[in-house]
């Protein structure tokens, strides 16, 4: 009997996936959490064998949670189950020790198999997504450029970003300009969108 931990911020989806997985004879959901920072404690308390983690969660993102969990309980495999097939997410999730990565677009009947494979130590990755991730390469942004883009996400002015990051206006403009150049965008907003779509703004 494989013991499962479910982590997803949407209670309805979480419960529905629990119902789906509990229908399998060899699987059992032993814990459900709605926040990233509750993953490790729950996994330890219930000795989970496989953890299904969403990427977008309050408290802590799923990739960071996977990293912590991999350290705290190496026997527990991780299967990332996420809405967005961002290549950057996949890359970072694998680096964080995840055993599999599937998007919520995949047919429901494949989920149980994916769990079993991850439990056996096999890697489960969407082929199309893997190809995209390989072709696209790693994030071209420096840490600071990513910081600035993150701060620019909610639409503030240069002055707002400078205040938030304790930088000079000019420095913020330089980082933005550099990020715009690297992403091939023509606008700050476009650069933000591209970086988000590629999953470059996680950590």
Partner DNA sequence: CCCGCACCGTGACATCTGTCAGGGTCTACT
Partner DNA sequence: AGTAGACCCTGACAGATGTCACGGTGCGGG
87-95 vs 62-72: helix crossing angle, rounded to 10? 10
**Does 138 engage in binding with its own copies (CB under 8 A)?**
no
Nearest to its own copies of 130, 185 (CB atom): 185
Among 122, 177, 184, 203, binds DNA (CB under 7 A): 177
- At 110, give phi and psi (nearest 5°): -85, -15
Measure the CA–CA gap between 54 and 82, rounded to whole angstroms: 5
In 125-142, which positions are buried (b, 16+ CB within 10 angstroms) versus exposed (e)?
bbeebbeebeeeeebbbe
Please report the sign of the dihedral spanned by the C-alpha atoms of residue 111, residue 115, residue 120, residue 126.
positive
Nearest to DNA of 110, 168 (CB atom): 168
Among 47, 168, 197, 203, binds DNA (CB under 7 A): 168
Least gap, CB of 167 to DNA (angstroms): 3
Residue 180 contact among DNA, its own copies, none, beta carbon within 5 to 8 Å by kind? DNA
Nearest to its own copies of 36, 68 (CB atom): 36
Least gap, CB of 72 to its own copies (angstroms): 27
Q: Is the CB of residue 159 less than 8 Å from the CB of residue 47?
A: no
User: Is 28 strand, coil or helix?
Assistant: strand
Using CB under 8 A as the binding rule, the residues of this chain from 141 to 200 that contact its own copies are: 152, 154-157, 185-193
Using CB under 7 A as the binding rule, the residues of this chain from 105 to 164 that contact DNA are: 142-145, 157-159
Residues 6+ apart with CB under 8 A from 112: 20, 21, 24, 27
**Does 180 engage in binding with DNA (CB under 7 A)?**
yes
**Does 58 engage in binding with DNA (CB under 7 A)?**
no
Which residues would be at the binding site for DNA (CB under 7 A)? 142-145, 157-159, 166-171, 173-177, 180-181, 186-188
């Amino acid at each position: 009997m494989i013991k499962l931990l479910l982590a997803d911020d949407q209670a309805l989806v979480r419960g529905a996936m629990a119902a789906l997985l509990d229908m399998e004879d060899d699987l059992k959901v032993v814990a459900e959490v709605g926040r990233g920072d509750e993953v490790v404690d729950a996994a330890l308390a219930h000795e989970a064998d496989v953890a299904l983690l969403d990427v977008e969660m309050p408290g802590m993102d799923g990739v960071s949670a996977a990293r912590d969990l991999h350290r705290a309980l190496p026997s527990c495999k991780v299967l990332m189950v996420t809405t967005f097939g961002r290549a950057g997410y996949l890359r970072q999730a694998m680096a964080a020790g995840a055993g599999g990565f599937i998007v919520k677009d995949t047919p429901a009947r494949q989920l149980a198999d994916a769990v079993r494979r991850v439990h056996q130590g096999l890697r489960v990755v969407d082929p199309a997504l893997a190809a995209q991730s390989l072709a696209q390469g790693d994030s071209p942004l420096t840490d600071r450029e990513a910081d600035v883009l993150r701060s620019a996400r909610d639409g503030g002015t240069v002055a707002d970003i400078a205040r938030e990051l304790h930088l000079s206006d000019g420095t913020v403009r330089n980082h933005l300009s550099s990020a715009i150049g690297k992403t091939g965008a023509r606008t700050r907003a476009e650069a933000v969108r591209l970086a988000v779509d590629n999953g470059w703004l996680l950590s």
